[in-house]
Structure 1
Amino acid sequence: MSISTQLLKGIITKNNPSAPLSFTGVSTDTRTIQEGNLFVPLIGERFDGHDYVEQALSKGAQASLWATSVPVPESLKNEDRLLFVNDTLFALQAMAKAYLRQTEPTVVAVTGSNGKTTVKDLLYATLAPLGSIYKTQGNYNNHIGLPLTVLSMPANCQTLILEMGMSGLGEIELLSKLATPDIAVVTNIGESHLEQLGSRENIAKAKMEIALGLKPTGVLFLDGDEPLLSHYVKEGVQTVGFSSENKIVIHDLEAREDGYSFTIDEHSYDIKLIGEHNVKNAAYAVSVALHLGLSPEQVARSLERVAISKMRLEKIEGQKGALLLNDAYNASPTSMKAAIKTLKAYPNYEKKVAVLGDIYELGIDEEALHRSVADEITEPITTAVLVGEKGQWIADEMKRRGSNIPFVSFVEKEEATDYIEGLLDGKTVVLFKASRGLELESIVDKLKREEG
């Protein structure tokens, strides 16, 4: 099965080719379009992809969709490569849904406030023995990115792992009903998107929309240690966690220098990931893999080959022999506290520096939630460096409490960089954690060991 106009059956309203057209792929961006692609011009608040259709065709696009509501310019009046549809976004999503119906991979969907990408990467490793496998690339996890992920999947794919993100109610429901997953995983409920959703209860409700598109025979895996998810637990739902009340219980947790070992159902597993929260992330991957018929031995071997996406507690060699822990991809109060806990437990370093910055989209309680991070900044942390305007709230709270941990705050990253550089030596490990918008990784880039 290839990507063709057959996927648009009943959707093309004009210029439907008499014989199906096949495409090398689907693109919404002329900057990355490839020869033979189908171009899909999307309309946003500040752009209209129809303005770039001529450019897409000149770069080798086989054809382009065109919304019937958009006037066709004179330069394209005689262009027979325009395929007219009522709504280009709907057409993109319908193509993805049709492609899944025809290729029939096992679909594993993952959502949650934290850990989505890590669980996706862990699943990609543990499910590899099942055959051809594909996963969401980068952050293509929304109403546009997910269908593009599906349409970039090889036709022979047997297992498709889809990350599902959201910023409001109704968004994951759309994604789930598009993908109709065989398995769905909800990693946890944190504070991300509190600004839009108002409460953690609403965040849980939004994340649980993943179950609305689940196939009738599908299985749902939940964070069984999260009280907000308890009333979603019904017959057939698999709860995962440390509590003995869960259906899948994590036992015998043991920290090691480069990761952890743990036991599920009397079988031991090792992960080379730091952070106790990653043990539960691994447990989801183990549980799904076992459910799909892989043996504990196969799963244990696969976990040894895990490659995690960048900026998720990524270990980087710093200047003067220091170790940098780059966890700056994103942050919530929950994930920031977990990262600090990881830093405190990290072995073989005398000095432990926590570089913490702004957390966005927390809504009316953002100051209190930032201040709550101070709860975790205790010994053996040796220095806390607070960065950004919102990061100052953490510093203020440490000052208010009379914290015995030395701390310093900077609004500007450049000043923070100079200060942190002075702390580096071979006995120091430094954690970097903040929301994506602060781009704290720019400090990491300046402090990492120079090649050569």
Structure 2
Amino acid sequence: MNFSSKLLNNISQGPVEHELVFEGVATDTRKDCTNKLFIPIVGEVFDGHRFIDAAIANGATGTLWDKNKPFPQDLVGKINVYEVDDTTVGFQELAKQVLREQNPYVIGVTGSNGKTTAKDMLEAVLSPKYKTYKTQGNLNNHWGLPMTVLAMPEETDVLILEMGMSGAGEISLLTQIATPDVAIITNIGESHLLQLGSRENIAKAKMEIAEGLKSNGHLVIDGDEPLLAPLQKNAISCGYDETNDLQVDQVVKLDNGYSFTLLNEKEPFEIALLGKHNIKNALYSIAAGRKLGMTDDQIRKALSSLTLTGMRLEKFRSSTGALIINDAYNASPTSMKAAVETLAELEGFHKKIAILGDMYELGDREESLHRNIATAIQPSITEVITVGEKAKWIYDGIVEDEAQQVPAVSFDNKEDAASYLSGQLDDKTAVLLKASRGLGLETIVKALENES
């Protein structure tokens, strides 16, 4: 995105002598900075101000600069300097200025699980009618969200911003930068129990997204979640309970996804995705699409052909013909149970193997939350393989339950698990991989891809 240095007049100290047009922003001087505004980010262990010479060498024509840090005398006059009290705050204020000037329709998405899936669905539904831009990768924090805003193409009609958090107050900051027209809370899970201590506190943190909502904006929530009940009166609620505004009525399992209708509506919607939980994610896109004036036929067509970001119920076949379901991007107890349910629902396989790994950031309850995964293991699953120290608790929960008949094995590392699986896969086998991102469980996927 191109933007004028005039926007910096509102956030920098001292006059801007002459107008420049910047071709975006840069925070990494190892990349091309040509005609960009350099933002020297200051973190706990790094300070971007140290790299101003590299920014100039790589073509940056302007920089935000902490007024309390001396600017190198030998570089004076080689780059336009805009002094601010804090470069991160200045970065965020610049994003606000750009949003006001460009004025896209903004959709903010938060939730313990499903943020990226909901974001992908929203783009799929809205892009046939509008020029859309969404958060790339996991750029969903106090640095990533401004970067997304300043990277959007100038012709963007709809900006879809994912909002992540690790503690209270973070969503509040992001939503007040973005001031969304639609704010979506996908669900409340157990992620960040370590930082926040309870699901109640997680819900309060997620509900902060409403603080920045435009006065004529719309809040869309998981209406089946009791912890979001305080928002129900002023929100579009989605789910299965009869109190919801968008209530799922009839669900039909298809070979490659689901068909579902909404209460009092005859024409079904279809999603070509595994996982029944994705029906609720589709509801959020339906709600947003309708608010943006899309017809239900337009929404149906888009939902039936969407694709998701990698490692989220991503399907492929190994060389032996086995179906591999890679859902190893991240995991919480809620999302792991949903993934296991997805595997259990599959038909036409004589072996269904769940490979489950460690889940992180669960706080004091991490052992009980891992053990509780055993309650989601249904008889149609033929084997559970756990990988990692924490996942051993899942194994313990299975073998200690006298009513549980599904066999399980446990491994400390991925290499041993991959070796154990060698030679077991055929075209009547389905394998699920699910764990927190830090475990890197997808390395088993690579081994399975080469299975012969």
Query: TM tier, shorter chain?
Result: over 0.9
Separation (CA, whole Å) in 2 of partners of 1:95 and 1:428: 52
> How do 1:344-363 residues align onto structure 2 when only pairs under 5 Å count?
344-363=344-363
- Indicate the residue corresponding to 1:294 in structure 2: 294
Residue 422 of structure 1 and its aligned partner are, at CA, apart by: 3.1
Deviations 1:162-209 (A, max 9, x none): 111000000000010110000011000000000000000000000000
Letter in 2 for 1:18: E
Conserved? CA contact 2:56–2:79, under 8 Å: no
Conserved? CA contact 1:26–1:39, under 8 Å: yes
Separation (CA, whole Å) in 1 of partners of 2:155 and 2:421: 49
User: TM-score of the superposition, structure 1-length normalised?
Assistant: 0.96
Helix, strand or coil at the partner of 2:106: strand
Q: Does the alignment pair 1:260 with 2:258?
A: yes
Segments of structure 1 that go 5 or more residues without pairing to the other structure are none
Conserved? CA contact 1:267–1:296, under 8 Å: no
Helix, strand or coil at the partner of 1:423: coil
Distance 1:372 1:24, change over 3 A: same
Letter in 2 for 1:251: D
- Indicate the residue corresponding to 1:446 in structure 2: 447
Across the aligned residues of Structure 1 and Structure 2, the Cα RMSD in angstroms comes to 1.5
Residue 450 of structure 1 and its aligned partner are, at CA, apart by: 7.8
> How do 1:167-246 residues align onto structure 2 when only pairs under 5 Å count?
167-235=166-234, 237-246=235-244
Separation (CA, whole Å) in 1 of partners of 2:248 and 2:28: 44
Conserved? CA contact 1:133–1:159, under 8 Å: yes
- Structure 1 stretches (4+) deviating beyond 6 angstroms? none
Conserved? CA contact 2:223–2:238, under 8 Å: yes
- Indicate the residue corresponding to 2:426 in structure 1: 425
Separation (CA, whole Å) in 2 of partners of 1:337 and 1:450: 27
Distance 1:286 1:375, change over 3 A: same
Separation (CA, whole Å) in 1 of partners of 2:233 and 2:6: 39
Residue 80 of structure 1 and its aligned partner are, at CA, apart by: 4.1
Conserved? CA contact 1:331–1:435, under 8 Å: yes
Conserved? CA contact 2:63–2:79, under 8 Å: no
Aligned residue pair count: 449
Helix, strand or coil at the partner of 2:384: strand
> How do 1:263-412 residues align onto structure 2 when only pairs under 5 Å count?
263-264=261-262, 265-402=265-402, 403-412=404-413
Letter in 2 for 1:246: N
Separation (CA, whole Å) in 2 of partners of 1:181 and 1:115: 19
Conserved? CA contact 2:131–2:157, under 8 Å: yes
Separation (CA, whole Å) in 1 of partners of 2:68 and 2:350: 65
User: TM-score of the superposition, structure 2-length normalised?
Assistant: 0.96
Separation (CA, whole Å) in 2 of partners of 1:419 and 1:319: 17
Q: Does the alignment pair 1:437 with 2:435?
A: no
Q: Percent identity?
A: 50
- Indicate the residue corresponding to 2:143 in structure 1: 144
Residue 74 of structure 1 and its aligned partner are, at CA, apart by: 4.2
Separation (CA, whole Å) in 2 of partners of 1:363 and 1:24: 43
Conserved? CA contact 2:352–2:429, under 8 Å: yes
Conserved? CA contact 1:130–1:159, under 8 Å: no
Letter in 2 for 1:248: L
Separation (CA, whole Å) in 1 of partners of 2:230 and 2:89: 34
Conserved? CA contact 1:272–1:304, under 8 Å: yes
Conserved? CA contact 1:253–1:261, under 8 Å: yes
Work out which of the residue numbers 238, 246, 249 in structure 2 matches 1:248.
Answer: 246
Deviates more, 1:268-277 or 1:5-14: 5-14
Separation (CA, whole Å) in 1 of partners of 2:125 and 2:315: 22
Separation (CA, whole Å) in 1 of partners of 2:222 and 2:256: 25
Separation (CA, whole Å) in 2 of partners of 1:216 and 1:81: 37
> How do 1:50-69 residues align onto structure 2 when only pairs under 5 Å count?
50-69=49-68
Conserved? CA contact 2:11–2:94, under 8 Å: no
Q: Does the alignment pair 1:4 with 2:4?
A: yes
Conserved? CA contact 2:422–2:451, under 8 Å: no
- Indicate the residue corresponding to 1:13 in structure 2: 13
Conserved? CA contact 1:11–1:86, under 8 Å: no
Residue 32 of structure 1 and its aligned partner are, at CA, apart by: 2.8
Segments of structure 2 that go 5 or more residues without pairing to the other structure are none
Q: Does the alignment pair 1:84 with 2:77?
A: no
Conserved? CA contact 1:319–1:424, under 8 Å: no
